[in-house]
């Protein structure tokens, strides 16, 4: 993701972690999470804001990438001063005889691109770019980069089962273009970004997203989308749409990012609901069939990560969630090592079902007295803190008008003899439950960190950033200005960190 406006500023983060966090042993976070002290101003600049830069914000990526401005007209592909020779060097190690899947992918994207009104020069460039970027060798290289760089943070494809010779072309396109964003060859990344929009058009032209397909089924009197909940190819095409919109959101132009967030994600959520991904659970009938377990786990994980992105849109840009906590009735994802295995049933940590849904885990966090201790993974914690943040933010927005009218009071069992300060956030019953949930989440977080080795922790991708979400969530329920900040924040806010700056002001007391 493109860094928000506030990334150019340094804020004092000392109050964000609260007194108990300030006194914690910083080694608890481990080398894979935060080596800097959250009690120092530099923490916000060096650690927290890195989290907001998205998955391509590493050192090998050009920070002045013109393709993220969204303000370009049609122009050359290469950065200024770089050769436009797209031929493979003589020693190119990724060369191999072209496979049918590479030729088919080029032709499929071209066929969709030709439906866009473009002049002959533009068509010629698109053709040259696709023939450069989608060679067999490069596709394999990009697939490898996808699984090396992206899979640890968003594991929803079963690596041993992924074969470019057999997967649907939309999924192959999505994985290849996402992987291309991690290429160390700037030519490859620039060319991939240049034709990313056309890859998106191709992926979303599949039947699973097609209004024409829906009209055809209804007009013919058939049952709409019969058996779609078990159709593996259609599910993979849904995954393709999700992956390509992720690539667009973090690497596309401003227009493409907005389209991914506002339009494409809504299409993916619609299909996910229709396929009942939000209700995906491992059933007893699947116990004797490893391939069915793998397919169901892919559905569980895809639903979980769709929910994560839904909350992330809310977190980064104040875009309202399209899924609710209550409808996330899918299982919690399995252990990472089990899902990554070629034969999950043979893994020592294999457990057929977690026997706990995301909704149930979320509700358990909020209970005044925890109903049952939970065995949570880093991914579970990442999912739950996203849901908690979104729940808190939405609740604060709901509270706003009532606070301004003076119609909120504490519940009877929370009343005290001390007069309530007008500036403080009234503690309604929901807010009390939220505080319980955040406190309980933090206990689980440190317990998890203490039992995980540093090597395992370092391999956990984005999940290590969960505590950052906790810190911001804690701000929202403790800072007296939080309600006003949330109420004033517009939908699709481009600089949400700038808006949250007031909550970090040292001059404002908790």
Q: What is the pLDDT of residues 433-442, one digit of tens each?
A: 999 999 999 9
Pair 437, 494 in one domain: yes
Number of domains in the chain: 2
Pair 72, 25 in one domain: no
Higher pLDDT, 223 or 252: 252
Asked if 233 and 206 count as a contact pair (C-beta separation under 8 A), the reply is: no
| % of the chain surpassing 70 pLDDT | 69
Pair 365, 448 in one domain: yes
74 class by beta-carbon count within 10 Å (0-12 exposed, 13-18 middle, 19+ buried): exposed
pLDDT for the residue 471: 85
| Out of 53-62, 121-130, 266-275, least confident range | 53-62
Q: Is the pLDDT of residue 47 over 80?
A: no
Pair 355, 257 in one domain: no
pLDDT for the residue 318: 83
Pair 233, 354 in one domain: no
Instruction: Report the pLDDT averaged over residues 68-79.
Output: 33
Pair 172, 221 in one domain: yes
| Out of 19-28, 306-315, 325-334, least confident range | 19-28
pLDDT for the residue 90: 40
pLDDT for the residue 426: 58
Query: Which pLDDT tens digit goes with each residue over 165-174?
Result: 999 999 999 9
Higher pLDDT, 228 or 289: 289
pLDDT for the residue 155: 93
Q: Is the pLDDT of residue 76 over 70?
A: no
Residue 481 has which token pair?
Answer: 């200005």
Is the pTM value of this prediction over 0.75?
A: yes
Q: Is the pLDDT of residue 456 over 70?
A: yes
In a domain, 290, yes or no: no
In a domain, 308, yes or no: no
pLDDT for the residue 472: 83
CA distance 237 to 103: 19
Which band of pLDDT confidence, cut at 50, 70 and 90, is reported for residue 394?
confident
Q: Locate the DSSP E strands across 226-317.
A: none
In a domain, 303, yes or no: no
CA distance 183 to 60: 9
Q: Is the pLDDT of residue 204 over 60?
A: yes
Instruction: Report the pLDDT averaged over residues 358-363.
Output: 95
pLDDT for the residue 296: 96
CA distance 365 to 435: 10
pLDDT for the residue 386: 94
| Out of 96-105, 117-126, 151-160, 219-228, least confident range | 219-228
Phi and psi at residue 103, to the nearest 5°? -65, -40
The H or E element containing residue 251 is: helix 232-251
In a domain, 466, yes or no: yes
Kindly write down the DSSP assignment for every residue of 116-128, as one continuous string: S---HHHHHHHHH
Query: Which pLDDT tens digit goes with each residue over 144-177?
Result: 999 999 998 889 999 999 999 999 999 999 999 9
CA distance 379 to 198: 32
Dihedral angle at the C-alpha atoms of 150, 155, 161, 167, nearest 10 degrees? -60
pLDDT for the residue 332: 96
CA distance 476 to 41: 19
CA distance 285 to 283: 5
CA nearest 13: which of 467, 441, 424? 467
Kindly report the length of the chain.
Answer: 510
pLDDT for the residue 507: 37
Pair 257, 378 in one domain: no
Pair 115, 14 in one domain: no
Burial 449-487 (b: 16+ CB within 10 A, else e): beebeeeebebbbbbbbbbbbbbbbbbbbbbeebbebbe
Q: Is the pLDDT of residue 119 over 50?
A: yes
| Out of 67-81, 181-195, 243-257, least confident range | 67-81
pLDDT for the residue 473: 86
Higher pLDDT, 467 or 485: 467
Pair 17, 131 in one domain: no
Higher pLDDT, 82 or 244: 244
Higher pLDDT, 91 or 329: 329
- Phi-psi category of 255—alpha, beta or left, where left has phi over 0 and alpha has psi -120 to 50? alpha
pLDDT for the residue 171: 98
pLDDT for the residue 404: 58
In a domain, 173, yes or no: yes
Domain boundary among 260, 275, 290: 275
Pair 265, 135 in one domain: yes
Q: Is the pLDDT of residue 421 over 80?
A: no
Domain boundary among 254, 275, 296: 275
Which band of pLDDT confidence, cut at 50, 70 and 90, is reported for residue 95?
low
In a domain, 294, yes or no: no
Q: Domain containing 207: what range?
A: 67-78+93-275
Residue 325 has which token pair?
Answer: 């906590």
Instruction: Report the pLDDT averaged over residues 12-40.
Output: 33
Pair 344, 489 in one domain: yes
Pair 104, 42 in one domain: no
- Mean of the per-residue pLDDT values of the chain: 77
Query: Which pLDDT tens digit goes with each residue over 314-356?
Result: 888 888 999 998 999 999 999 988 999 999 999 998 999 998 9
In a domain, 324, yes or no: no
Q: What is the CA radius of gyration of the chain?
A: 24
In a domain, 293, yes or no: no
Higher pLDDT, 316 or 262: 262
Higher pLDDT, 458 or 72: 458
pLDDT for the residue 315: 83
Instruction: Report the pLDDT averaged over residues 73-98.
Output: 44
pLDDT for the residue 406: 56
Domain boundary among 275, 298, 325: 275
Query: Which pLDDT tens digit goes with each residue over 270-288?
Result: 999 999 999 999 988 878 8
């Amino acid at each position: 993701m493109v860094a928000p406006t506030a990334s150019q500023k340094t804020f004092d983060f000392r109050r964000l972690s609260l007194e108990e966090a300030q006194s914690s042993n910083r080694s608890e976070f481990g080398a894979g999470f935060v080596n800097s002290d959250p009690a120092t101003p530099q923490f916000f600049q060096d650690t927290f804001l890195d989290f907001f830069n998205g998955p391509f914000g590493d050192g090998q990526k050009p920070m002045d990438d013109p393709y993220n401005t969204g303000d370009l007209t049609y122009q050359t592909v290469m950065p200024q001063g770089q050769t436009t020779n797209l031929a493979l060097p003589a020693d190119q190690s990724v060369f191999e005889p072209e496979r049918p899947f590479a030729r088919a992918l080029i032709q499929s994207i071209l066929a969709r691109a030709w439906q866009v009104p473009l002049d002959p020069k533009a068509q010629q460039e698109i053709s040259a770019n696709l023939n450069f970027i989608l060679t067999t060798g490069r596709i394999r290289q990009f697939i490898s980069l996808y699984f090396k760089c992206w899979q640890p943070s968003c594991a929803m494809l079963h690596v041993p089962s992924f074969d470019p010779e057999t997967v649907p072309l939309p999924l192959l396109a999505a994985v290849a273009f996402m992987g291309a964003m991690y290429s160390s060859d700037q030519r490859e990344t620039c060319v991939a970004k240049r034709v990313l929009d056309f890859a998106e058009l191709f992926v979303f032209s599949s039947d699973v997203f097609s209004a024409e397909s829906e009209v055809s089924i209804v007009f013919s009197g058939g049952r709409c989308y019969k058996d779609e909940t078990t159709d593996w190819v259609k599910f993979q095409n849904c995954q393709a749409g999700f992956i390509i919109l992720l690539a667009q959101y973090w690497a596309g132009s401003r227009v493409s990012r907005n389209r991914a967030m506002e339009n494409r994600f809504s299409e993916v959520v619609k299909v996910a609901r229709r396929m009942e991904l939000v209700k995906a659970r491992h059933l007893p009938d699947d116990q004797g069939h490893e391939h069915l377990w793998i397919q169901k786990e892919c559905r569980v994980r895809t639903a979980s990560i769709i929910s994560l992105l839904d909350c992330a849109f809310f977190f980064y840009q104040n875009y309202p969630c399209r899924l609710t906590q209550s409808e996330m009735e899918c299982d919690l994802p399995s252990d990472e090592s089990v899902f990554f295995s070629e034969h999950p049933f043979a893994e020592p940590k294999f457990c057929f079902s977690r026997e706990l849904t995301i909704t149930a885990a979320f509700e358990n966090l909020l209970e005044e007295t925890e109903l049952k201790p939970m065995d949570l993974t880093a991914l579970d914690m990442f999912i739950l803190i996203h849901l908690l943040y979104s729940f808190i933010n939405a609740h604060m927005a709901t509270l706003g008008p009532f606070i301004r009218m003076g119609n909120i009071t504490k519940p009877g069992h929370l009343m005290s003899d001390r007069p309530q300060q007008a500036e403080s956030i009234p503690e309604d019953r929901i807010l009390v439950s939220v505080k319980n949930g955040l406190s309980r989440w933090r206990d689980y977080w440190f317990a998890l960190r203490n039992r995980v080795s540093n090597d395992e922790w370092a391999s956990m991708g984005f999940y290590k950033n969960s505590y950052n979400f906790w810190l911001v969530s804690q701000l929202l329920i403790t800072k007296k200005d939080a309600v006003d900040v949330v109420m004033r924040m517009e939908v699709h806010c481009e600089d949400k960190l700038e808006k949250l700056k007031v909550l970090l002001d040292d001059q404002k007391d908790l």
